[in-house]
Structure 1
Amino acid sequence: MKVETDDPKQVVLQVGNALKKLRKDKRLSLEDLSELTGVSKLTLGNIERGETNPTLGMLWKISRGLSIPLMALFARESNVNVSRAGQGLRIAGDSKAWIMEPIFQNASNEIEMCRAYIQPNSTYHPEKHHQNTTEIVTVMSGKITISVNEDSYELNEYDSISFRADSIHSYTNHSNDIVVLHIVLKYGV
């Protein structure tokens, strides 16, 4: 995970503190959490102490293991939030083809929103999301191919698609320009 903010170390510490709080709220030991997530106890401890910068894939494993939205690991408490494009938290995928900016997450952890930037001539294969999660994607600029299971869909600027996010899916940008997406994740029960 590459995090871009004014103070990246602060974000790593914030993720660690959020993970530790979530783990303790669920009354889990590091060993219990390791069994749930498939992430080693040592790595989880390092994340909680802010001593390591976890990958996006690792954070997905943790969020699925805890049955929480990914953005719950980045959540801040406030009554009013403003999200400005290109400012604040930015997370790069392991392949660098994908950059995500969290926008908002509602208090009940049912919905989260983000902006995503798909680099030119690249493909991003995200981890499967939580079971019964719906992903709603709107193309804000550019053109993209989104594959869900065996089917591919071409979307142009302002087109939208909705699909089960626990399906195998990918995003492919065949152009020489960055594609900007608006993504809403609706977590099922």
Structure 2
Amino acid sequence: MAVEGRERARELEAGAQVLSGQLGKTIQRLRKAYSLSLSELAEQSGVAKSIISQIERNETNPTLATIWRLSQALDISIERVLATVDEEPFIEKSSKPDTPILVSDDGRMRLAIIGWIKTVEWLQWYDVTSQPGGVLESDAHQRGSVECLSVLEGEFEVEISGVVQTARTGETLRYRCDRPHTVRCVGDAPGRATMVCILKAAVME
């Protein structure tokens, strides 16, 4: 078991190095395409020149927040920056039976895990459906984590440390989820929402 564990760790490390190297090449290619110096990209993105240089040389693994800032400065989607092969289109499909489902303790709220496994340590997102009165009680996530609940149908409320806020169709609640929190589907109609959890690894340097 110990040998298998070491082999798996080496495989993960090698995979991370490949992704990091491709990311650095992508950042450098885009920067040069816009005729930007390291200093100019640093000024536009808010990312230190030294960090950008390390990323391009494959000497560091940047956080999602850093990648997002660079993608904004380079006017490209973060998905494109993270693409493993720049020259080829990327399309991945998950079938309905392969999509994991979480169910609240009361059985009235269901969360389909639609997030990408490659970003699970940074970003998690779910398709939430609920019967009226459904309640989802969650433990605290890592310190510094933030959750976003965008209501597509119905009405939801979020309670944290005794503070309650409500959102209806078309509205979004953003809140710290590094403490116990509760999501409820309120009103007489079923509800649907998209829930995105941005973990510490993404929101903190």
What TM-score do the two structures reach when normalised by structure 2?
A: 0.48
Match of 2:121 in 1: 92
Deviation (angstroms), 1:68: 2.5
CA 1:28–1:162: 2 relative to 1, 3 Å: farther
Establish whether residue 81 from structure 1 lines up as the match of residue 91 from structure 2: yes
Deviation (angstroms), 1:14: 1.7
- Contact 1:31–1:41 (CA under 8 A) maintained in structure 2: yes
Summarize the alignment of residues 138-177 of structure 1 with structure 2, pairs less than 5 Å apart: 145=158, 152-153=165-166, 161=170, 169-170=174-175, 172=177, 174=181
List runs of 5+ in structure 2 lacking aligned partners. Answer: 1-11, 95-113, 128-137, 183-192, 197-205
For residues 118 and 159 of structure 2, what CA distance do their matches in structure 1 show? 25
- Contact 2:159–2:181 (CA under 8 A) maintained in structure 1: no
For residues 45 and 151 of structure 2, what CA distance do their matches in structure 1 show? 30
Establish whether residue 42 from structure 1 lines up as the match of residue 42 from structure 2: no
CA 1:144–1:43: 2 relative to 1, 3 Å: farther
- Contact 2:158–2:165 (CA under 8 A) maintained in structure 1: yes
* Matched residue count: 134
- The range that moved more, 25-34 or 62-71, is 62-71
List runs of 5+ in structure 1 lacking aligned partners. Answer: 94-98, 101-114, 127-134, 184-189
Of the three residues 65, 72, 76, the one matched with 1:68 is 76
Structure 1 letter corresponding to 2:77: P
- Contact 1:38–1:61 (CA under 8 A) maintained in structure 2: yes
Q: Deviations over 1:61-86 (max 9, x none)?
A: 22222232222211234346214568
For residues 88 and 72 of structure 1, what CA distance do their matches in structure 2 show? 17
For residues 181 and 5 of structure 1, what CA distance do their matches in structure 2 show? 32
Establish whether residue 25 from structure 1 lines up as the match of residue 33 from structure 2: yes
For residues 175 and 20 of structure 2, what CA distance do their matches in structure 1 show? 27
Deviation (angstroms), 1:56: 1.8
Of the three residues 124, 127, 135, the one matched with 2:145 is 124
**Structure 1 residue matching 2:28: 3-state secondary structure:** helix
Q: What is the RMSD computed on CA atoms of the aligned residues?
A: 4.3
Deviation (angstroms), 1:44: 0.2
For residues 51 and 165 of structure 2, what CA distance do their matches in structure 1 show? 36
CA 1:136–1:145: 2 relative to 1, 3 Å: closer
| Identity between Structure 1 and Structure 2 (%) | 22
Q: Deviations over 1:164-186 (max 9, x none)?
A: xxxx93364726xxxx9576xxx
**Structure 1 residue matching 2:19: 3-state secondary structure:** helix
